[in-house]
């Protein structure tokens, strides 16, 4: 799903009495500005294939299904891990992952939101007993992105002692997902 025409945040302006107003003012400064709010920049990336996560190692997730990318913010031919917003603003991120059923998961399981390669937000679970699987899911954070060089990734980490997979259970329970939506100018 790709739509437009805006890839820039609408530019608010103030009119003076002496301004002559034509259809472009009505279209670009009013209609399209509202349209931008009704169709904000958005990405929904999924990881469907299994991905091995060695113990004690941060693994950045390459997305293999791009469900929504309204403004072409992921180029999987260049780097399938990066979402590079081309519209500046504060974005809302929702992300989650699923560690496979191995019969006995122990130790920490962690997921991260990475901004520009650094680890910014994380969600962690620590296990004190035996569990057949592990969901880290449905967490929301916000980050400001400059619309040019800033990018985000998602990483996972675990310390079971052996390599573990994140894996897809069904079309709704994914190995991992990242949803991003433009929220506001600042």
Partner 1 sequence: MNKLALPDLRSWNAGDGVTAERMNLLQDMMEFAIAPPECKVIRKATFSMGTASTAYAITFDNRIMDNVAAFGTGAWPSDTPTRLYARVPGMYEFHYSVRWNSALEGGRRFMFLNPDGLSIGSAANWFGTTETIAAGGGDGNENQSGTIPWYMNTGQFVELGVFFDGAGVASASLISATVESPDYRFAASIHMKWVSF
Residue 124 found at the interface with partner 1 (CB under 8 A): no
Residue 122 found at the interface with partner 1 (CB under 8 A): no
Single out the residue of 14, 18, 149, 170 in contact with partner 1 (rule: CB under 8 A).
170
Query: Which residues make Cβ contacts (< 8 Å) with residue 95, sequence separation at least 6?
Result: 111, 113, 139, 154, 176, 177, 178, 179
User: Cβ-count burial of 137 within 10 angstroms (0-12 exposed, 13-18 middle, 19+ buried)?
Assistant: middle
CB 73 to partner 1: min, Å: 15
Residue 20 found at the interface with partner 1 (CB under 8 A): no
Among 37, 81, 78, 41, smallest CA distance to 178 is for 81
Q: What are phi and psi of 29, to 5 degrees?
A: -95, -15
Residue 49's SS3 state is coil
What is the spatial distance between Cα 36 and Cα 24, in angstroms, rounded to a whole number?
16
Residue 49 found at the interface with partner 1 (CB under 8 A): no
- Residue (157 or 177) nearer to partner 1, CB: 177
Residues 75-94 that bind partner 1 (CB under 8 A): 94
CB 99 to partner 1: min, Å: 10
Q: 67-89: string of b/e by CB count within 10 Å (b at 16+)? A: eebbbebbeeeeebbbbbbebbb
- Residue (117 or 132) nearer to partner 1, CB: 132
Residue 151 found at the interface with partner 1 (CB under 8 A): no
Token pair 């949803």 is at which residue?
Answer: 179
Single out the residue of 55, 135, 142, 148 in contact with partner 1 (rule: CB under 8 A).
135
Residues of the shown chain interacting with partner 1 in the complex, contacts defined by CB under 8 A: 3, 23, 26-27, 30-32, 34-35, 37-40, 42, 44, 68, 94, 96, 125, 127-129, 131, 134-135, 137-140, 169-170, 172-173, 179, 181
């Amino acid at each position: 799903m790709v739509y437009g025409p805006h890839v820039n945040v609408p530019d608010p302006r103030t009119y003076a009495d002496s301004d002559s107003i034509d259809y472009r003012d009505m279209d670009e400064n009013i209609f399209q500005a509202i349209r931008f709010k009704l169709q904000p920049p958005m990405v929904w990336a999924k990881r469907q294939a299994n991905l091995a996560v060695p113990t004690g190692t941060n693994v950045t997730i390459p997305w293999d299904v791009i469900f929504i990318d309204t403004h072409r913010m992921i180029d999987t031919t260049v780097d399938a891990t990066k979402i590079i917003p081309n519209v500046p603003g504060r974005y809302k991120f929702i992300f989650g992952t699923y560690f496979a059923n191995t019969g006995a998961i122990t130790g920490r399981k962690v997921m991260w939101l990475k901004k520009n390669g650094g680890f910014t937000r994380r969600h962690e679970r620590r296990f004190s007993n035996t569990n057949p699987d592990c969901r880290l899911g449905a967490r929301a954070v916000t980050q400001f992105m400059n619309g040019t060089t800033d990018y985000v990734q998602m990483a996972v980490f675990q310390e079971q002692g052996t390599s573990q997979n994140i894996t897809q259970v069904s079309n709704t329970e994914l190995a991992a997902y990242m949803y991003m939506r433009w929220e506001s100018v600042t």
